[in-house]
A and B are shown apart, each in its own frame.
Chain A
Amino acid sequence: MSLHYLPAIVLIITVLLSLTSLSLKRHHGIAYLICGGGLLLTMLSLFMQIGKTGTTSELFVFDAITPFLSLILLIVVSMIWVQLYQWLEALDERKEEYYLLLLLATLGSLIMVASNHFTSFFLGLELMSLSFVGLVAYSGREFKGQEAGVKYLILSAVASALMLMGMAILYLQYGTLSFNDLSMQGASGTLPSWVTVTGIIFILGGMFFKLSLVPCHLWVADLFEGAPLATSALLATLSKLAAFVVLWRIFSLGEWHTHAVIVDIVAAVAIASMLVGNFLGLLQNNLLRLLAYSSIAHFGYLLIILLLAASPTTAFLTSTFSTEAVVFYLVAYLFTLVGVFSVLMQMPQIKTQQDLTGLFWHKPTLAITLALLMLSLAGIPLTIGFMGKFYLVMTAVNHQMWWLLSALVIGSVIGLFYYLRVIMMMIKAPDGESDFSGLTMTTNGQLLNYLIIFLVIGFGTFPAAFSQLIETLSRG
């Protein structure tokens, strides 16, 4: 048993501990602290692994990148955890189980990120999805939340079924479930290649559900709106990051880009997601729905990465550059997104853009944080979001993917429209109707805002150290 399993073990122990304490005595504070302590220890144990030599086993892969991505996941979860106490206190529901489900979902995503085998991947996926069903429906007697929970349950079941079918077909073809053996094209294959392609399409379909890419995106806006805020945040970050990392791994290990049909499908989905996501966001008034549509578009941009191997490269820099681009973009997007959610969690009564009118003149710190995050999502320089986009553009131009790039440009311009509208609302002169007296700023929230500004602007302005780190990791 190597050190690499330590984070998961720590998480499991935390889960057991919180379960025990829950059954002995319900106490919100204790549950909160156990959860926090567990997350902290997990982060520490992950931190120790960064830069260490990795290993690969049958079920899991621990290369240089995996612990880093897991650490990013944990940081994201912790940033949400910081605000959970206050937010749960306001919720009319039992509080302690939320932490339990949160920890389980985190565990599931950790397993997914490190998975190297369809079995571990599927177990991680189900652990995460089932916990999420609970988390989504965690809103007392509110109708919308229950509806969202049922929707998520059904859709994730459909997605899982699709993926299982796909795995079965691939197993039939290759006789193995390990990701590593997927590249042995037709070595043991007895079936025609269209069967493989069908299997791949099934798996992609399930993945597109998880990543809410067009045409499997219809659930995401309802869910973001209906689910409790913290759950939406987790759904947007944790579940999507884990799903994307696995998709990326399977896609490159399985050399799926060699199938022309698959490349076409992914390209079409990417372009459609960029355009449809941004168009849907265009006139959206509800902030959470807006974020949902923006996340469709952002994962559309990221899909470009999957296709890189399919087009001719010019041996620009090193072959690891596309890995760096994925990691940078993911990290940038996740930090920005979790920032947006934590700002929203600080002002629970604000739901629509109109509610933001004049916020800047009342709560400048909150408004500036949100404005910077919007600029980061839009990809304006000196924010971390821009650096991510810059990496992505550099890689895509390097591979001369002009169609996808033109969709990216058009999508970005449309996207700018609604990001800018949020800012515009906040700087409007207050009309007297908007009432922000209910907004109490906690030191917790204030500190978190400063941290977000530091992450978004600091890494956006001085990305040198960060880019070096990612480069070393990608090489290793």
Chain B
Amino acid sequence: MILLSLLLIPLIGGIVAWYSERFNPDYPRWVALASLILCWVPVLPYFSAFTLEQMPQWLVDEPMRWIPRLNITAHLAMDGLSFLLVILTLAMGLVALSSAWTEIKKRTGFFYLNLLWTLAGVMGVFLAMDLFLFFVFWEVMLVPMYLLIAIWGYENRQYAAFKFFMFTQAGGLLMLLSLAGLVILHYQQTHILSFDYTVLVQNPITGDLAYWIAVGFTVAFIVKLPALPFHSWLPDAHTQAPTAASVILAAVLLKTGGYGLIRFVLPLFPDAAKAIAPLMMTIAGVGVVYGAMMAFVQKDLKRLIAYSSVSHMGFVLLGCFAMNIYALQGAVMQMLAHGISTSALFVLVGMIQYRFKTRDLDKLGGLWQQVPRLSAIGLFFGVASLGMPGLGNFVAEFLVLVGSFEKYPWYTVVAASGLILGAIYSLIIIYKTFFGPRGDSVQTSEVKGAAEVTDTSNREATTLLVMVVILVYMGVHPQPFMDMVQSNLLQTIAKGLL
């Protein structure tokens, strides 16, 4: 019941938060904080897994009956990969809460309900080991996210929310077809009807149809990642979403795509994965460069960071299909590091927008003199995003490149240029916001009275500094994170090489 309680706490917390708004609009955020902290209780014991010599296959395994007619189970389980991502989700949930703390003033109850339910849905995705259950979480987590963007977003929120939902739903429908195909094909070949991951993974399906099923799953996942042809929802969604939703979106929602590739596509369709690998590597390589170059020309700070996400997630895709243990570990590291650094950047943009009422790069500039603490932290995360050695992002990107070089040297060369391009847009962010001449918006707010614009509050500074510490730790001592996932990833690789 440990994992179930992990899902139930935010679900119930959300309802309580909504109800508590009747008494005081401030209560919901406290309820949300309490339930998020409570969520840590079930996972805390598993931190000891960092010290284990040999990782077990599953840290926790909880099969439950659900729909016996089709042998669908509510099978929740957690291994090293799920554990890391659940931790990321919970941590970024707290970050999102912190960034929403004063920003959200309207309809607080319903906001925190949606925030908590999104987190529950995402954790469900990371923990579900039954494909039907996985699909349910995969789709359902979109609904509260959609509401977060559509209700509390900026100017063009309806359009952005709509696009987000349509893209991911179209991918989801494709996954539903593939899911049905997978189960039926598996039944034909083994006469076992099961939606259970642990059963399906033992006898990977073969044949022509398997190839198309794998493509269906892959497309659904790379829509979420997002990879090149399906990425256009991301800049809109990010730009319009409120800060807290941007954080969740960047930190964990995108990671479900990468997680799906590593967890399902590679082990369930080893042959097909090999067959589509060149295509995916191309998409990844082009995505890295394209995302970076799109980021150059953006005027909107949030949009710029969104495109940089496209570029960074290209590395995840590259790592997934390189069929190499280093590259896969790199992909996992990239998911974690990108989750932290990018959401930190979104938090910073949120703070800037809150203070200067704009995120237009042309109107910003020279922030350092007014908000030195904020700018310093901004500098750090800008540098992290360009892949500075000593930080988590560098470890991740380096591992991906090392791993991919063995089989796909040219793709790797292209992707490696992404690091240089990444430096350019990171420096654009740093130069145009924190340094350089003062922008219009910065001056006007000064005219109105300098007292209005304050530097980071203790709450904001603590949030960001904790993220700094984690990112540095991942950069200088990444081994524990890699050990967590190594044994299972090795099995995946072994399957692919057979």
CB atoms of B184 and A416 under 8 A apart: no
At the interface, yes or no: A355 with Cβ under 8 Å from chain B? no
Cα of A238 to Cα of B53 in the assembled complex, Å: 65
Chain B residues with CB under 8 A of A405 = 177
At the interface, yes or no: B67 with Cβ under 8 Å from chain A? yes
A122 within 8 A of B: no
Please indicate the chain B residues that have their CB under 8 angstroms from the CB of A381 in the complex: 135-136, 139-140
A424 at the interface (CB under 8 A from B): yes
A residues in contact with B170, CB < 8 Å: 409, 413
Query: Contact: A463 with B67, CB < 8 Å?
Result: yes
Question: Could you say which of B136, B139, B147, B187 contacts A427, with CB atoms under 8 Å apart?
Answer: B147
- Interface flags for A374-392 (1: CB within 8 Å of B; 0: not) read 0100001110000000100
Complex-state Cα separation, A317 to B193, whole angstroms: 8
Question: In the complex the two chains form, what is the Cα distance from A54 to B76 in whole Å?
Answer: 42
Q: Is the CB of A413 within 8 A of B166?
A: yes
Q: Which residues of B contact A467 (CB under 8 A)?
A: 67, 69-70
Q: Which of A104-112, A294-302, A393-401, A435-443 contacts B (4 or more CB under 8 A)?
A: A393-401
> Min CB distance, B419 to chain A, in Å?
37
A-chain residues with CB within 8 Å of residue B165 when the two chains form the complex = 416, 420
| A427 CB to nearest B CB, Å | 6
A390 lies within 8 A of B176 (CB): yes
Interface residue A314 (Cβ < 8 Å from any Cβ of B): yes
CB closest residue in chain B, given A383 = B140
A35 to B49, CA, bound (A): 66
**Alpha-carbon gap, A381 to B181, bound state (A):** 18
Total count of chain A residues near the partner, CB < 8 A: 29
Per-position contact with B for A438-476: 1 when CB-CB < 8 Å, else 0?
000000000000000000000000111001100100000
Q: Is A316 an interface residue (CB 8 A)?
A: yes
CB distance from B333 to the nearest CB of A (A): 31
Q: Does A369 contact B (CB under 8 A)?
A: no
Instruction: Report Cα–Cα, A314/B161, bound state, in Å.
Output: 41
CB-CB under 8 A from A471, the residues of chain B are: 69
For the complex, is A417 an interface residue (Cβ under 8 Å from B)? yes
Q: In the complex, what residue of chain A is closest to B161 when comparing beta carbons?
A: A424
Q: Does B65 contact A (CB under 8 A)?
A: yes
Please indicate which of the listed interface residues B69, B174, B193 has the most CB atoms of chain A within 10 Å of its own CB.
Answer: B69
B180 touches A424 (CB 8 A): no
Contact A375 B143 (CB under 8 A): yes
- Asked if B127 lies at the interface with its beta carbon under 8 angstroms from chain A, I say no
Is residue B449 contacting chain A, with contact meaning CB distance below 8 A? Answer: no
**Cα separation A428 to B173 with both chains bound (whole Å):** 27
Out of B169, B181, B188, name the residue touching A413 (CB < 8 Å): B169
Q: Cβ of A394 and Cβ of B166 under 8 Å apart?
A: no
Task: Tell which of B68, B166, B187, B193 touches A468, judged by Cβ atoms closer than 8 Å.
Answer: B68
B211 within 8 A of A: no
Contact of B230 with A by CB under 8 A:
no
Residue B150 interfacial (CB < 8 Å)? yes
Minimal beta-carbon separation of B118 from chain A (angstroms): 14
Given contacts A413-B169, A416-B166, contact A424 B68 (CB under 8 A): no
Residue pair A468, B140 in contact (C-beta under 8 Å):
no
> Which A residues touch B147, using CB under 8 A?
427
Q: A416-B165, A420-B165, A427-B147 are in contact. Are A316 and B69 (CB under 8 A)?
A: no
Shortest distance in angstroms between A76's beta carbon and chain B's nearest beta carbon? 24
- Smallest CB-CB separation from A389: which chain B residue? B176
What is the CA–CA distance of A463 and B132 in the complex, to the nearest angstrom?
13
CB contact between A409 and one of B67, B68, B151, B173 (< 8 Å): that residue: B173
B66: Cβ under 8 A from any A Cβ: yes
Contact among A380, A390, A397 with B143 in the assembled complex (CB-CB below 8 Å)? A380
Q: Does A382 lie within 8 Å of B166, measured CB to CB?
A: no
Is there a chain A Cβ closer than 8 Å to B358's Cβ? no
Does A412 touch B at the CB level, under 8 Å? Answer: yes
Question: Which residues in A have their C-beta under 8 angstroms from that of B181?
Answer: 397
B40–chain A nearest beta-carbon distance, Å: 26
Known: A380-B140, A381-B139, A427-B150. A464 touches B166 (CB 8 A): no
- Distance (Å) between the CB of A389 and the closest chain B CB? 8
Which B residues from 158 to 175 make CB contacts under 8 A with A? 158, 161-162, 165-166, 169-170, 173-174
Please state if B177 and A464 are interface contacts (CB–CB under 8 Å): no
Distance (whole angstroms) from the CB of A277 to the closest CB of chain B: 17
Residues B162 and A464 in contact, CB atoms below 8 Å apart: no
Q: Taking A375-B143, A381-B135 as given, write out 4 further A-B residue pairs in contact, using a Cβ cutoff of 8 Å, ordered by the A residue number.
A: A314-B184, A409-B174, A420-B165, A424-B158
A-B contact pairs, 10 of them (CB 8 A): A316-B188, A361-B107, A375-B143, A390-B180, A397-B181, A398-B184, A412-B173, A464-B65, A468-B68, A468-B69
